[in-house]
């Protein structure tokens, strides 16, 4: 080879030098092709979980979006308590004794407020017995469950806000048919039954027995369980306690940490809820998802059951048997909720 040939040749690359010097033999094309396939498979395996999670995140969003939203479920802004500076949430849970999902038909057989603390590691289920004698705005003194009959969820919320001087953030409504289907869809719930009782769930059907101890209930027997009161020692108060117990069992089962953290099961939960529950129109999909993902509930001990305080029972000449509100303790409960200091209230008055 002449000097002129060398001077006119392109500058050798590192690959050319390797070939010339013989330090590294050129890699066969077939081997390079196999290595490319291996890289492709590794990338695919790394991406699949992200695609999988993304797919189910979208599915969960779609399921949450399927939940019925009622634009009339919350009161207008007129004369409502101010929005709190605390990050807690007050969600009103209502169960209607109507067999339809139309707000305002029937009375609220179940009425609770789920107070979720700012750190999201405690949920306080506070039940308001249906016979509590309170001021229903526009209707005077009446049983608290009459508010639903007069004005649906919106008037029920106004009644609670007026009594507590505390803003409620959202509402969730389920009718009895929905309750039956919800307990069926999650495979029933297990609760501890304090008092033995029995009764027919529907006229003409055999009695269902509920012995003392742990019982697993679902469907019609679950509905019958939370509606009984005449065979229980404290009547309406024991029924309210049963309602809290079953609600706690449902929440514990649906919102376990492993459920919230798993996109597949979270999507399934969202799908179950969307079939049976309606919420106010302001409870957006983003807010529901963010609230669920922020929860730090680690077990049943993080769901605390309370009853709104009463002093006892009485009879009103117009409304019959009533539960008399303990106004002093109710004010303390309202203050504890407003300042996110429920621990101190529970230490003082106990739970149950």
Q: Dump pLDDT digits (tens) for 5-20.
A: 544 445 555 455 444 4
Task: Quote the pLDDT of residue 59.
Answer: 61
The segments of the chain whose pLDDT lies below 70 read: 1-60, 97-108, 260-261, 263
Q: Residue 102: which residues within 8 A CB-CB, separation 6 or more? A: none
Task: Quote the pLDDT of residue 230.
Answer: 87
| Residue pLDDT, tens place only, 57-81 | 566 677 778 889 999 999 988 889 9
Task: Quote the pLDDT of residue 311.
Answer: 96
Q: Secondary structure of the chain: what % helix, strand, coil (to 5)? A: 45, 20, 30
Task: Quote the pLDDT of residue 65.
Answer: 83
CA 235 to chain centre: 27
Task: Quote the pLDDT of residue 176.
Answer: 73
Q: Note the pTM of the prediction, 2 decimals.
A: 0.77
Task: Quote the pLDDT of residue 77.
Answer: 84
Task: Quote the pLDDT of residue 53.
Answer: 44
Q: Would you say 267 and 162 are in contact if contact means Cβ atoms under 8 Å apart?
A: no
Architecture of domain 66-349: 3-Layer(aba) Sandwich (3.40)
Pairing outcome for strands 140-143 and 133-136: antiparallel
With CA atoms as reference, report the closest residue to 93 among 248, 213, 235, 290: 248
User: How do the domains of the chain map onto residue ranges?
Assistant: 66-349
CA separation, residue 240 to residues 48, 82, 231, 243, 345 (Å) = 48, 29, 14, 5, 20
Task: Quote the pLDDT of residue 161.
Answer: 97
Task: Quote the pLDDT of residue 312.
Answer: 93
Pairing outcome for strands 320-325 and 68-70: unpaired
């Amino acid at each position: 080879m002449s000097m002129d040939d060398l001077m006119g040749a392109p500058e050798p690359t590192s690959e050319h030098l390797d070939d010339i010097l013989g330090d590294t033999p050129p890699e066969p094309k077939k081997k390079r092709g196999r290595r490319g396939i291996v890289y492709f498979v590794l990338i695919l395996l790394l991406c699949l979980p992200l695609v999988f999670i993304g797919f189910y995140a979208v599915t969960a969003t779609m399921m949450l979006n399927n939940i019925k939203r009622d634009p009339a479920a919350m009161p207008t802004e007129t004369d409502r308590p101010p929005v709190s500076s605390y990050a807690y949430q007050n969600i009103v849970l209502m169960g209607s004794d109507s067999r339809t999902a139309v707000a305002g038909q029937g009375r609220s057989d179940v009425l609770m407020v789920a107070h979720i603390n700012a750190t999201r590691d405690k949920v306080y289920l506070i039940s308001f017995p249906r016979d509590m004698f309170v001021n229903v705005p526009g209707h005077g003194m009446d049983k608290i469950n009459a508010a639903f009959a007069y004005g649906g969820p919106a008037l029920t919320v106004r009644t609670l806000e007026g009594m507590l001087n505390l803003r409620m953030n959202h509402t969730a409504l389920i009718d009895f048919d929905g309750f039956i289907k919800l307990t069926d869809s999650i495979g029933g719930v297990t609760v501890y039954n304090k008092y033995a009782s029995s009764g027919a769930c529907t006229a003409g059907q055999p009695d269902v027995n509920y012995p003392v101890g742990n019982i697993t209930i679902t469907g019609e027997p679950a509905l019958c369980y939370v509606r009984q009161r005449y065979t229980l020692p404290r009547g309406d108060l024991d029924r309210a306690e049963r309602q809290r117990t079953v609600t706690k069992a449902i929440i514990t089962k649906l919102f376990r940490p492993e459920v919230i953290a798993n996109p597949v099961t979270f999507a399934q939960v969202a799908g179950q809820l969307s079939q049976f529950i309606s919420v106010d129109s302001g409870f957006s999909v983003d807010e529901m998802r963010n609230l669920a993902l922020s929860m730090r509930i680690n077990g049943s001990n993080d769901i605390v059951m309370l009853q709104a305080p009463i002093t006892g029972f009485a009879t009103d000449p117009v409304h019959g048997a009533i539960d008399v509100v303990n106004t002093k303790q109710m004010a303390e409960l309202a203050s504890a909720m407003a300042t996110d200091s429920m621990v101190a209230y529970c230490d003082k008055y106990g739970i149950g």
